[in-house]
A and B are shown apart, each in its own frame.
Chain A
């Protein structure tokens, strides 16, 4: 009898303890870091319903606080601090040292899993592409460059298989026809097109993307193109860019990408065929050479609960997150 009571008490205690561990807690400050370097007076996008911005230092810091009167109820978190302009290396370091709770993850972080650390990943929502400046006039050279790049090697090694190789602007999950755009390298054809090419400069602003640029230079060299990598994209012949797919609708996404790439806006798109034709028109001149589509990947500290904090399209949704071990 006593034994059965003891077991019952122990069961109650365990149940109570388990409930405390999984139950959302109010309070605490979620520290987020991002590479984004918004110099504009406008603060970065909202974190979803329930937060309002209370402090904005352009390019450095944004502080959001929970809205007690939010329509869907008050978020668990009291505050979200977002530090801007942090490199991937700094972010990884801050996460390791416990100075940050949510950081962006690069491929290197993906291949170094840390015990207890969580990862949030979206669908491929960013396109990695080479964008040729008007100075690179010869379409044969642009095509040679497009054919020279070994996207598979970049995807396998440098991107650690994050995202997907692509020759299209819109990802397969969004357009459904991305596979129609060739992504395989053809060094033989590239070598046929490259004779007479002048040296080309490849600009890359993000140091994290420099290895990709270096690899592109190696591939181009194998095709007979002399490509040198520079950190000044504004003066380069070709720029390695990462563009976000801003809309889940192909037509809007394509239009926004065209605007971002400073190319003519596609005509009205009402069907997948028109979208394909518009994208084909954008890519036929090889002014834009898509390389891969990449997801948003975040490394998350173990104390962050209630995730994932991003949607499949990569938007932040922090209203359901809470921090373990904080006092209300």
Chain B
């Protein structure tokens, strides 16, 4: 991945992460604000319910007291036989908007019942326990009706006339009508669980429209409130259907929880808000990401442009263009880096020039040393021969002719040697341009090796050839390549003075051919390997040091590559890799 791409990814990730964090923070704070608002609304509704409940209790007490204080009721109280008044309660209840009204004699027998007219004569023993009903006020009570139990807000008063008494028991049902009178904010609803028979019955959970639908879901929560007899809050349901429930226990006289008021606040609004925020967040995030990518693209381009210029210049330097420089367009770190780079390339150029100069001097010195060494050897016999000839001319005139002939012969031989040495140097200086033509490479190798067969037999070198038949014809200069092979074979034979094995291998490559010439000679040290292709460097006592330099020059002219592997004492392997593509002239 490029530096620019990496920068873009980093910028983009940073932007996405920032947007995600902001989105989450917004969502979280929104949720908290909503929760607070919901809690406040639920508390307000609980307060409203309590006020309404207290108001209704007080109103019920007033109503029942009014019925008890009426002349008609007091008249019934003094009757020795109240049976003619068995249907008194129903119209009174209707008049006073009570769902329940009973007149009960001091012994607890029902005289008249509005909610269950046929129950006259039955006992209401709970009334005769000595409780001070006037002080008690209204309370919750389970009331049995012809069609089942119900939960009622009940008040008891006493109609007294002299020593005669009559209990007046009035009540209003806590039912869906009661719930429908509670004013609710939008998104809230009130449910009432009526504990009518001591065990959970789904039908006893009602709302203002009738039986509530999610009774089973609420059961554990209701049972918890019943068991602990205190208010609880809980979220029930999932997603948009979830609701926050606040439960208020409604106890009876004995503390039993006869009812549980459930104030439900829908979370649909929050879910919609969250969904909207999420949607907006996604849109903003997408836009932000796109914008971020564009900005990061632009920023990365700005940031990486000098870096890319640096990289390009470094590449040029690596490719040999030591004059490559970078434009310095800023004073920041990148500018400092560019300046440092320019300084570095300048230093490198200067150093290289100094090095070239030094190498050139060294080469001249080496050349002079070689020349001196090579020329000194034939010059010394020349000097001795000329001195012998002069001495013979002066001291042994009779033998002068013979000495002269021998001397002339020697002089000619040494002059020929000098000519040969000068010719070699001349050849290296004047390497001919390669004449490339398609040649069957294996044939070229085999023909060349054949020339050395007698020499190798004499030197007790065994030749092993492994020529890959897949090697096709190659575009090479036959003369140059023959010279390469000749030099390498002669070097190998020279490396095995006591005999050995010379292995010549060709192998087809996807894009050319590989030639390996391996000997089992004394091998080379790493230092020798490193300097092997340097002109005039030789490990042999009689070499000019130009053979491998010529080999490298020819291989290079063919666009190929030459390398050597060697272990001291185990022999050396020269490897030449040539491309099938025609070398550029």
Contact = CB atoms under 8 A, between A and B. Distances in A.
Contacts of B118: 211, 214-215, 217-218
Contacts of A158: 86
A218 B119 contact: yes
Interface in A152-168: 153, 156-158, 160-161
B145 to A, nearest CB: 11
Nearest to B82: A157
B198 interface: no
A157 B86 contact: yes
A222 B117 CA distance: 15
B84 A111 contact: yes
Contacts of A215: 118, 120
A6 to B, nearest CB: 50
A211 B117 contact: yes
Contact of A218 (B83, B87, B122): B122
B84 A153 contact: no
B121 interface: yes
B139 interface: no
B400 interface: no
A127 B361 CA distance: 155
Nearest to B112: A157
A218 B86 contact: no
Interface in B93-146: 116-122, 146
Contacts of A160: 83-84
Interface residues of A, number: 15
Nearest to A111: B84
Contacts of A150: 121
Contacts of B87: 108
**For B83, B118, B120, B121, which residue has the most chain A Cβ atoms within 10 angstroms?**
B118
Nearest to B109: A153
Given A150-B121, A153-B121, A218 B116 contact: yes
A237 B106 CA distance: 38
Contacts of B83: 156-157, 160-161
Interface string A136-159: 000000000000001001001110
A215 B86 CA distance: 12
Contacts of A161: 83
A17 to B, nearest CB: 39
Nearest to B86: A157
Tell me whether chain A's interface is mostly helix, strand or loop, or mixed: helix
A160 B120 CA distance: 13
A215 B119 CA distance: 7
Contacts of A156: 83
Interface in B47-92: 83-84, 86-87
Among A157, A161, A217, find the residue whose CB has the most chain B CB atoms closer than 10 A.
Answer: A157
A70 to B, nearest CB: 43
Nearest to A222: B122
Contacts of B122: 218, 222
Given A111-B84, A158-B86, A160-B83, A153 B117 contact: no
Nearest to A221: B146
B253 to A, nearest CB: 24
Contacts of A157: 83, 86, 120-121
Given A158-B86, A160-B84, A214 B121 contact: no
A200 to B, nearest CB: 15
A108 B84 CA distance: 8
Contacts of B146: 214, 217-218
A150 to B, nearest CB: 7
A133 B254 CA distance: 46
Interface in A217-273: 217-218, 222
A222 B87 CA distance: 21
Contacts of B120: 153, 157, 215
Contacts of B86: 157-158
A94 B75 CA distance: 29
A111 B81 CA distance: 12
B214 to A, nearest CB: 31
Nearest to B147: A228
Interface in A97-127: 108, 111
A215 B84 CA distance: 16
A150 B123 CA distance: 14
A279 B122 CA distance: 32
A158 B119 CA distance: 11
Contacts of A211: 117-118
A215 B121 CA distance: 10
B581 to A, nearest CB: 107
A214 B120 CA distance: 11
A57 to B, nearest CB: 35
B498 to A, nearest CB: 126
Interface string B2-19: 000000000000000000
Contacts of B119: 218
Contacts of B117: 211, 214
A217 B122 CA distance: 13
A158 B87 CA distance: 9
Nearest to A108: B87
B72 to A, nearest CB: 14
A123 B379 CA distance: 184
B147 to A, nearest CB: 9
Interface of A: 108, 111, 150, 153, 156-158, 160-161, 211, 214-215, 217-218, 222
Given A153-B121, A214-B146, 19 more contacts: A108-B87, A111-B84, A153-B120, A156-B83, A157-B86, A157-B120, A157-B121, A158-B86, A160-B83, A161-B83, A211-B117, A214-B117, A214-B118, A215-B118, A215-B120, A217-B118, A218-B118, A218-B146, A222-B122
| Shortest Cβ-Cβ A-B pairs, 3 listed | A214-B118, A215-B118, A111-B84
Interface of B: 83-84, 86-87, 116-122, 146
26 contacts: A108-B87, A111-B84, A150-B121, A153-B120, A153-B121, A156-B83, A157-B83, A157-B120, A157-B121, A158-B86, A160-B83, A160-B84, A161-B83, A211-B117, A211-B118, A214-B118, A214-B146, A215-B118, A215-B120, A217-B118, A217-B146, A218-B116, A218-B119, A218-B122, A218-B146, A222-B122
